[in-house]
Structure 1
Amino acid sequence: MSSMERKREKHSLFSLNPDPRRKTSAEIVTEARHSLRTLHTQRPFTPRDNHRHLFGETSSRTRDGRPPSTFSLYSRNFETQDSRPGSGTRLSPLEHKPILPVAQDEDPDPVTSKPLPKPPSDPLDLKRGVAGARARLLRAGSLTSLPPVARPRGMEYVSADSRPEQKKLSVKKRDKDCGGLSILNPHRTNNESGLQHPDSVFSLLQPDKGRGPLAGARTELGTELHVGNEDKPASQEAVDESVLWNVKIVPLLKELESVAAGGSKEAVELLCDACDRLHGALAEQGMLGRRCKRRAGLLRTLFRLIDLNSDQLNLQLAKLTLALSVSGNNLLNICKLIFKISRSESNDILFQNNSIIDSLLNVLRFEDVLLSGEAVLYCVGTLKFLSGNSVLLRLLLAKDCVGLATVLMQKLHPLAQPDHTQFSIAGHILVQLTATLRNLSDLSEARPLFVSHGTLTELLQVLRHHRGDKEVCTNVARVFSKLSSYSDCCLALAQIPHCCTLFIEMLSKHHQKQDLVLRLLFTLGNLTSRSDEARVLLFTAAGCMSELLGLYGTYLGRGEPPAACAPHAPAAMETSDPAVCPVSLRESEDVLVKLVRVLANMSINPAVGPALAANTQLVDFLMDTLDFRSMQESEELLVNVAATINNLSFYQEDSSVVRLRGLTVAKLMLKLLLSSSTEAMLEATRVFGNLSQSMEVREFILRNKVHQFVVTLLDSKNPEVCFSACGVLTNLALDPSSRATLTEEGTHTKLADCLRDFGPVDWQLAGLVCRTLWNITEDGGTKTGTEPPSMLDHQEKQALQEVLTLYLDKEEVLQWDAGDAICDLRRACWEMEFLPVAQRLRNRIKNQVD
């Protein structure tokens, strides 16, 4: 080798100064491995609530202002006339008294009497001829054999045209006016009357006693049609429905009556089977919904079965009742009935064997939240309970519960104004709905649906609209903390505008609610670990650093609550919570771990990192954490703090506080380096690798014998540990005196062993080993000013030369398939990280051997 070449080599030592150029993926990987790293941590644990309540035991909602979780339901709670709920406005009675109509079997004087309006009639009575014919027809039926019974309370009929005074008519007077129909619903014909017997729950069946199921219908309806307009489609439809009713439905109702009256052990199973067949018959004949003309009486029959108090039967009744499109109070009570059944975990099997879940989802799909908000609440509360069962959870997923929940959230957004009359019930519903989504987010199959349905966007809207509702915010934060752990969901969340800004606002408003803060920070840590865009957006969000540092000081016990709380959320300062979070060491530990992780991940961005490294308050907090927390109590926290300092120490700008306080930081790192924790020791070594670029820190390392510990790390079988150790040794070998000290420790021999062991599997590590060997074997003065003895004997030099020659043989050591991303990366690392320095080192060794 010429003297000029030797001179050039002498001044070409390697160091770990970062190269600002980033041309290839291999360079990026190498740079990150040298210093910048994202941090990972465990997701916050949410204990399972073993008690099924609408709201948890720690709910901030007052008991007076929220719907109850426990209640009793009986048949008397249901309305006999299923109709839309009233408007709540009472109408004033009319001034005049109505003139009562004469009996239908008396002919009024056509001259002196004016025609009076007739009471509303059943659809079957429409267009059935004159009043006299109708009276004669009704009198033809034999009713003398039925016992005279009193009309049940609450069953009096009041027509739409009647006046309040008509309610005072006695039963006898009405009997006279209606042709002697004392026990019939006055607006029904004999064959379809709503007969109510006090001793029977199936009064629908009484008019046909003693006759065949079709006899009365055929005789009476035939007479009516003969008198009336038989050619009209409505009349024909009435005939068809009546016939089908008596043929298909009446036998099933009789079966229900006989089974219920029997009281056998098998009664529940038989009643469930009969209800199921009744449901099928009604569906087959097109009588579900509100199309059945005998619907009101049928509902009364079903409601009375509820008093049998069987959960299995009640689910069957609820399914059938919902299929009949009940509304108002009846819809609410049915939803409450299902909710009550779902409160017991032992009843989960009933929901697995019943299609009632489809009925519940239809309630959410079609009901108006404004009119049926409380019914929707109990419906969603039921789904929340059921989603705690793994089998039912997958069933809900298969029925697109995620998509339906997304649509329901969209319906609730217009109610989000605090002065809206339904704002409170909307919040109650969202507590249940977000808890259900929290459970669904555990399923891997559900995660793509949260993205494709736009559920993440709607959840952010919920968070924005209900930012003052701690329970809603906590549930949404739990959903985000779960989903953001997965790349596709995390990246989709990061792309939603103002996502990071909203999270900062939530942290500001709820900084005292530890479980909410914990999950928001965990989500931010996930976003910043995968998205460089999220790092910038978070750092530039209004009040971000003041909020994060305020939280750091609060949970570290070094300061007051975040100063940014006042402008962001003035309402939060009106609470009765204390100014400083009264959290214990253990409670604050998790928050600090997640918070420091966010800061470490943010610092990876080349624009954000230098700004964080120059933040004096941040560096002070990090150093205080290292100083006052012990490894025994706070291992994960201290490891994260060391990793954050490592990332910050990567930036060597003059404004860097870490660089200016390098010696103080190095002293704090000794605690971690000498600990029994491998993770802590590794992070401390990485920090020394960056800080050792400073002459002051290198002298500290040699003075405190830190280099001896670093040399022993080369014996580790962990490539990451060896990589970090080589980083420190490479910088230490920049000084001639340090090279001599390292030679005395036998560093060169250990480095040669590392090259042989890790070269073929880790070309980045192999390249760094060659750099360290190059620096150590560089000629220079020793402590005495003389030339150092050759570190490697002739045999060692030959062995090292053979290894380098082998590893430099491209065809021998590189076996890759074209198009394989991993193999392409390995090839790039070999060409850029190992090849240049290995060739130079081999030439030097060869010249020494020759």
Structure 2
Amino acid sequence: MFSGSCGLELSSHRQIVLYSPHMASVERKQEKQGPFYLGYGSRRQTSAEIVTEARHSLRTLRTQRPFTPREEHRQLFGASARTRDGRPPSSFSLHAKNFEAPDSRPSSGTRLSPLDHKPRLPLSLDEDYSEVEKAVPKPPGERLDKAGSGGTRTRLVRARSLTLVPSMTQHSNVPHAEGVDEPTLSVKPSKQVHRESFSLHSGYKPERTEKSSEILTRIPIKHSGTPRPSSADLSQAKRTKTGAEPGCRDTAGSDATDESVFWTSEVLPILQTFESVAPGGIVSKETIERLCDACASLHSVLAEKGMLGRRFKKRSSILQALFRLIDLGSDQLNLTLAKIILALNVSGNNLLNICKLVFKISRSPRNDFLFQDNPIIDSLLLLIQCEDFKSSGETVLYCMGSLKLLSGNSTLARLLLAKDFIAVSLQLSQQLIQLSDPKTFPNDRHMLAGHGQPAITGHILVQVTAALRNMADLSESRSSFLSNDVFSTLCAVMDHHQEDQDICLNVARIFSKLSSYAECCYALAETSSCYRLFLALLCKHSRKQALVVRLLFTLGNLAARSNDARERVYEVERSIDVLLELFQSYLRVPENPPDSENHMHEEEDVLIKLIRVLANLSIHPTVGMALAANTLCVQLLLKVMEVRSVEESTELVVNASTTINNLSYYQGESSVVRVQHAHVSELLLRLLLSSNMAAVLEATRVFGNLSQIEEVQHFIIRNQVHQFVVALLDSKNPDVCFSACGVLTNLTVDPKNRTIINEEGAIHKLIDCLRDFGPQDWLLATQVCQTLWNCTEDTQQEYAQELLEILSLYSDQKALQWPSSDDIKAYQEACWELEFLPVAERLKKRMQRYVNVLERISEPS
């Protein structure tokens, strides 16, 4: 396999001196002086050349994604930054008594006349009677009214039990609402009242709604001198309701008859099954199964008859029977009950309690299998798309909380993905962003944060973003994240909730997961708002390690893949200052006694991700030159190498040395790395002497750039670093050999150094490298030939014949074996033709001359 296929993983030796000026006179006449890496002319580079150049220049850094452990207990918020007083609970108890009867009443089709007194009442169907009664003023007691003509004394009616009132006007023909009861008004007459008939005003006809009609049944009516109905009027109203008037065909009565038959034959037997089980005590598994089957049958017969929703007159009786079964305490049964209760279109507190009940069931992982074949998930998805957040925010919260918990199960997550859950969540997020914008509802304190307490929109968004975080774990979900404009929406969510650490952390986790994949990383890189946002959050939440480390990881991914992303990060105002301030904040010298081990690990993780950002940013020429000239940046990197040992903080120290390597590529006079080359060399020597091969490799790479400096060359020879570098040629790692060749190439420019290095057996080891790695890695073969060119400057004839045979074989394209893959073959052929062959041909000519000289010497005179 071609070891050099990942070009960005290799060392930087672009500035290495690859050609010695001390050449034989004949060669000076025949060959143009100059390093091999120059001379492609002005022609456009091929893709192979671009990858080749990447290997010779700067290097991106990789690192592991921050680890997020699974929460042991399923909760709404888990390890949240929210205070317990400011968030809805995850634990609660629910019983049949928590469900209210008013919601189970069907609406009335009767139109009522307007009231003189119009109290302002809450219009929720599910508010408690006691709350309504408190809001309604008490009717006045019995008193005399002297305003009547002739001093007639009339006693006012005390309102008692009121139900809905049919129209008392005989000529009015109000159609009945389909499938709705029509209760009548019942007023107990006073003994001292004149028996005069009266009718309520029929000129005003309010809109018939279930909410208004239900509340009106509980409002005492204040009469102002209006006559009371006679018994004849009440009888007439009764006949009007029942349709008993002769000569009229009663369609409503026919429908009622059909419903009565349906109730008696289909529904009542199922309800009797429910009634046969007494709540309380231990219920057998067989009984639970029987009740679940009965619920399924009830749902089926109601659906076939079209009686789901609010159409059925006996809906209240069905709901009461279903609510009663909740006290049996079976999760399996309760989930079945929730399905049919939601299908009956409950609202208000009953809807909230059902969503709480489903959430309670979803909190237990052992119940996940109950949701797999249950359409309750469809009901929950429908709810979060239809509910009004301003009036039912808590309902949506628990509904979304259930979906979040279920998405933690990979099987259920795939089920949600198939139901387009990501698109639904995206739409919900966009609506919540609008509701949380103060410009949208400037006077609405329920939806907006007030007095330091988070808004309900924020609570819901915590669930939405946590669910999307779970969905991001599925490899199948990436196409959905790419096709639904998720990245810009999630950036908007973070931007609107920068103060909410829970939301920001969830979104940061989504980005850290998705940006690890190329297609998602490129999509996020094109989201222009993310750069400013990420840096703003790093500044605002600089000590929130979990958030900081994920934002840095995402920035590092963007900078690793996109040159445009590197430039955009750099162009954000004070971006480099923010990163270096974070660097200073988290870089601490270990204390004695040492700090908490976990705390030190968290700080080190931040530094690893932060240094990786700097290393990847430095690949951009403008950014790289700016960082190389930034004294604070270089000093912080060197301090890491000073105070942290490679044995204890391997990745941190290696990342710091890699960044130094990238910065050492820039040779300008302002380069702090090159100005401080003596101090850098001392630190590199420590890495070379370590037992960690990754640290040794990075130190060798840095020496490959700095060894152009004469003082650094003297340091290497004086400290016998060259012996260690020559020994690295025996490594079976092609990257190590490549880096060692770079250092040796620069050292052998000086004839004194060349002699010392050849005495260490460098030429023999280089020929072995060429033989072992040549056909698999033509870039490494090129570097070996360049090193051999300098090492054989002083006529090393003893190796000429062996080297000539290898070069002759490698120069014959037909004699080589190429990979079967067309892509890899095309790449290797390009590297062989453009990189290796020019260098090999020149070296082969030299070896041929040496062989000719040897042959002439060996010929008999």
TM-score range, shorter chain: 0.7 to 0.9
Q: Is the 8 A contact 1:94 1:163 kept in 2?
A: no
Q: Which amino acid aligns with 1:824?
A: A
Alpha-carbon distance, 1:672 to partner: 1.2
Choose the corresponding residue for 1:29, options 42, 48, 51. 51
Which residue of the partner structure matches residue 216 of structure 2? 160
Aligned match of 1:438: 469
Pair 45,19 (structure 1): closer, same or farther in 2 beyond 3 Å: farther
Residue 850 of structure 2: aligned partner = 848
Q: Which amino acid aligns with 2:825?
A: C
1:350-429 correspondence runs (5 A): 350-417=370-437, 420=444, 421-423=446-448, 424-429=455-460
- Matched residue, 1:150: none
User: For the residues of structure 2 that align with 1:425 and 1:228, how far apart are their CA atoms?
Assistant: 58
SS at match of 2:311: coil
Tell me if the contact between 2:647 and 2:692 (Cα under 8 Å) persists in the aligned partners.
no
Gap change, CA 1:746 and 1:581, over 3 Å in 2: closer
**What does residue 751 of structure 1 align with?**
766
Change (3 A) 1:848 1:599: same
Matched, 1:614 2:629: yes
- Contact 1:260–1:267, Cα closer than 8 Å, also in 2: no
Find 1:467's aligned residue among 482, 498, 508: 498
Deviations along 1:61-90, one digit per CA (max 9) or x if unpaired, are: 222221111112121211111186269994
Deviation at 1:287, TM superposition (A): 0.9
User: 1:662 Cα deviation (Å)?
Assistant: 1.9
Does the CA-based 8 Å contact 1:54-1:69 persist in structure 2? yes
Is 1:694 matched up with 2:703?
Answer: no
Q: Partners in 1 of 2:699 and 2:214 — Cα distance? A: 86
Is 1:729 the counterpart of 2:744? The answer is yes
Q: Match of 2:813? A: 810
Aligned partner of 1:52 in structure 2 is: 74
**CA shift for structure 1 position 775:** 1.0
Q: What residue identity is the alignment partner of 2:803?
A: L
Q: 1:329 to 1:845 in 2, by over 3 A?
A: same
Give TM-score, length-normalised by structure 1.
0.80
C-alpha contact 2:723 2:760 (8 A) present in aligned 1: yes
Q: TM-score, normalised by structure 2?
A: 0.79
The equivalences for 1:135-150 within 5 A come to: none
Aligned to 1:588: 603
C-alpha separation in 2, matches of 1:632 and 1:165: 86
**Whole-angstrom CA distance in 2 between matches of 1:316 and 1:346:** 16
Whole-Å Cα distance in 2 between the matches of residues 630 and 128 of structure 1? 85
1:89-136 CA distance string (max 9 Å, x none): 946678899758999xxxxxxxxx99899999885789999x9xxxxx
Change (3 A) 1:414 1:711: same
How big is each residue's C-alpha offset from its partner over 1:617-671, in whole Å with a ceiling of 9 and x where there is no partner? 1001011111111112111001111111111111112221112222221111111
| Partners of 2:139 and 2:158 within 8 A in 1 | no
The correspondence of residues 97-496 of structure 1 with structure 2, limited to 5 A, is 160=216, 163-164=219-220, 224=243, 227=246, 229-230=248-249, 232=251, 234-260=252-278, 265=284, 266-417=286-437, 420=444, 421-423=446-448, 424-496=455-527
Question: Counterpart amino acid of 1:82?
Answer: D
Quote the Cα distance in structure 1 between the aligned partners of 2:28 and 2:829.
Answer: 32
Shifted more, 582-591 versus 17-26: the winner is 17-26
What CA deviation, in whole Å up to 9, does each residue of 1:322-360 have, x standing for no partner? Answer: 111111111101111111122222222222342222211
Matches within 5 A, 1:403-802: 403-417=423-437, 420=444, 421-423=446-448, 424-557=455-588, 584-779=599-794, 790-793=795-798, 796-802=799-805
Provide the residue aligned with 1:831 in structure 2: 833
More displaced 10-residue stretch of structure 1: 350-359 or 9-18: 9-18
Greater Cα shift, 367-376 or 339-348: 339-348
Give the conservation status (yes or no) of the 8 Å contact 1:229–1:235: no
TM-superposition CA deviations, 1:201-239 (whole Å, max 9, x none): xxxxxxxxxxxxxxxxxxxx9xx578473265x554444
Amino acid at match of 2:822: D
Q: CA deviation at 1:828?
A: 1.3
Cα separation, 2, equivalents of 1:227 and 1:389: 65
CA distance in 2, matches of 1:447, 1:509: 30
Report the Cα offset of residue 442 of structure 1.
0.6
Q: Residue 195 of structure 1 corresponds to which residue in structure 2? A: none
State the 1:542 CA deviation.
Answer: 1.6
Matched, 1:43 2:65: yes
Percent of aligned pairs sharing the same letter: 53
Question: Taking structure 1 as reference, are residues 125 and 823 closer, same or farther at Cα in structure 2, changes over 3 Å only?
Answer: closer
The runs of 5 or more residues in structure 1 that have no matched partner are: 104-112, 132-156, 168-172, 180-185, 190-220, 560-579, 780-789
Change (3 A) 1:394 1:187: farther
CA distance in 1, matches of 2:465, 2:87: 17
- Find the aligned partners of 1:514 and 1:496 in 2 and give their Cα distance: 24
- The secondary structure found in structure 1 opposite 2:619 is coil
Whichever residue aligns with residue 49 of structure 1, its letter is E
Cα 1:742–1:125, aligned 2, differ >3 Å: closer, same or farther?
closer
The letter of the residue matching 2:677 is G
- Measured in 2, the distance between the counterparts of 1:641 and 1:601 equals 12
The code of the aligned residue for 1:533 comes to: D
Deviation of 1:9 (Å): 6.7
Q: 1:745 to 1:318 in 2, by over 3 A?
A: same
Aligned to 1:148: none
User: Larger RCO: Structure 1 or Structure 2 (Cα < 8 Å, ≥ 6 residues apart)?
Assistant: 2
Letter in 2 for 1:47: P
Give yes or no for contact 1:369–1:411 (8 Å, CA) kept in 2. Answer: no
Change (3 A) 1:837 1:611: same
C-alpha spacing 1:655/1:127, structure 2 compared with 1 (3 Å): closer
Listed one character per residue, the Cα deviations across residues 431-471 of structure 1 (whole Å, up to 9, x for unaligned) are 11211111111110012111111222211111001110011
The Cα RMSD (Å) is: 3.7
* Distance of aligned partners of 1:721 and 1:477 in 2 relative to their CA distance in 1, 3 Å threshold: same
Residues 644 and 813 (structure 1), Cα distance of their counterparts in 2 relative to 1, 3 Å cut: same
Displacement of 1:50: 0.5
Q: What letter matches 2:378 in structure 1?
A: D
Whether the 8 Å contact between 1:552 and 1:621 is mirrored in structure 2 is yes
Question: CA 1:28 to 1:20, structure 2 compared with 1: closer, same or farther past 3 Å?
Answer: farther
* TM-aligned CA deviation for residue 35 of structure 1: 3.4
The verdict on how the C-alpha distance between 1:158 and 1:759 changes in structure 2, with shifts beyond 3 A counting, is closer
Alpha carbons 2:646, 2:654 under 8 Å: kept: no
- Any conservation in 1 of the 2:181–2:313 contact (CA below 8 Å)? no
- Contact 1:691 / 1:697 at 8 angstroms: preserved in 2? yes
Q: 1:299 to 1:229 in 2, by over 3 A?
A: farther
Q: Does 1:7 align with 2:28?
A: yes
CA 1:497–1:456 in structure 2 vs 1: closer, same or farther (change >3 Å)? same
Aligned position for 1:821: 823
In 1, the alpha carbon distance for the partners of 2:28 and 2:257 equals: 114
> Given that residues 751 and 773 in structure 1 are in contact (C-alpha distance below 8 angstroms), is that contact kept between their aligned partners in structure 2?
yes
| 8 Å CA contact 1:777, 1:791 repeated in 2 | yes
1: CA distance between counterparts of 2:182 and 2:365?
Answer: 54
1:502 match: secondary structure: helix
1:404: how far off?
Answer: 1.3
CA distance in 2, matches of 1:79, 1:174: 35
Mapped contact 1:525–1:598 kept (Cα < 8 A): yes
Asked whether the equivalents of residues 15 and 730 of structure 1 are also in contact (C-alpha less than 8 Å), the reply is no
User: Is the deviation greater in 36-45 or in 77-86?
Assistant: 77-86
Distance 1:392 1:187, change over 3 A: farther
